[in-house]
Amino acid sequence: MEKSIQSLFIMIITAGFFLLSPACSSTTPLKKYVCNGWVDYKGILSEKTVFYEYIDTIGNVEASVLTSWTREQKLAFWINAYNAFTIQAIIERYPIKERSLIGLFYPQNSILQISGIWSRLKFKAGRQNLTLGYIEHDILRKSFHEPRIHFVIACASRSCPDLRAEAYRTDILEMQFNDQTFQFINNPTKGTFWDTANKRLYISKIFKWFKEDFEKKSGIPYSSTTSPTINNPLIRFISPYILDEDVKDSIADNQNIKVSYLPYDWQLNDKAEKPCTVTQKKIDIDE
């Protein structure tokens, strides 16, 4: 009986918010409030009681239970926690208005208007009070050494990887990681854009900010499809995920590729400003 309860608890906490509501499935509410990466923060506010039940559950996980989980269970827990805390920070200040000193350089509704959003605000997870920065850099990056983490944690901005319209789950985690990476890299306004005429590859600034993570694991998990002649480790990481074969061949054939960075839009990914009726498109991936 004790093992069954623990298994159920693990399933709940690693599946994502709103699963605690008996009226909702694990994915329905996220599909309801997330569309192609745009988030209905006002809608989440309307169900904040259920949302905060999930937040409380994240905080009350015993450290001994958390350490006993598998790698996939821990990953799902920390990713879902990070994304939930980001939503929490926004809905508690929604609508966001210009209020921080650094915010003078960013849009008025940007998450960067929240003072100390990554470095000072603390959230309870596993009975510890942690910042988003600590969860990202000291737990997710340092403990798991998985560069695709940068495509699954959401920073609530238009140039960030899309918040997925479902929670991260241990049983399909690898598929979700791959899908998020493909979706982001093949988005020409966010991930990569190949300028054929000038033989220039435009890439997200995420690849600049976390360059060392991608260089350590360049060309995974599809390294067999990557040209061994690609010298740039960043491009070596990106290339296997590019779906356009002509672009992939052009990159492999040009060793003197110029790399530039796409502009980064820090405006809030607020669905209220972007009417959306189509759910996030899934990419078919051949394993």
The residues spanned by each domain of the chain are 2-184+266-273, 193-261
pLDDT of residue 5: 40
Q: Between the CA of residue 140 and those of 91, 148, 287, what are the distances in Å?
A: 24, 10, 25
pLDDT of residue 204: 98
pLDDT of residue 22: 32
Average the pLDDT over each of 26-40, 92-106, 138-152 and give the range with the smallest value: 26-40
State the average pLDDT over residues 79-93.
97
Residue with the larger pLDDT of the pair 45 and 279: 45
- Binning pLDDT at 50, 70 and 90, where does residue 61 land? very high
* Residue 164: strand, helix, or coil: coil
pLDDT of residue 117: 96
Instruction: Kindly tell me if the per-residue pLDDT of 202 is higher than 80.
Output: yes
pLDDT of residue 103: 79
pLDDT of residue 274: 78
Burial class (CB in 10 A: 0-12, 13-18, 19+), 40: middle
pLDDT of residue 2: 45
pLDDT of residue 285: 53
DSSP string covering 186-198: T-TTTTEEEETTT
DSSP string covering 21-53: -TTS-SSHHHHHHEETTEE-HHHHHHTHHHHHH
- Binning pLDDT at 50, 70 and 90, where does residue 228 land? low
Structure-token match 């990887």, residue found: 161
Write out pLDDT tens, residues 67-76: 999 999 999 9
State the average pLDDT over residues 267-277.
86
Highest mean pLDDT among 161-175, 241-255, 265-279: 161-175
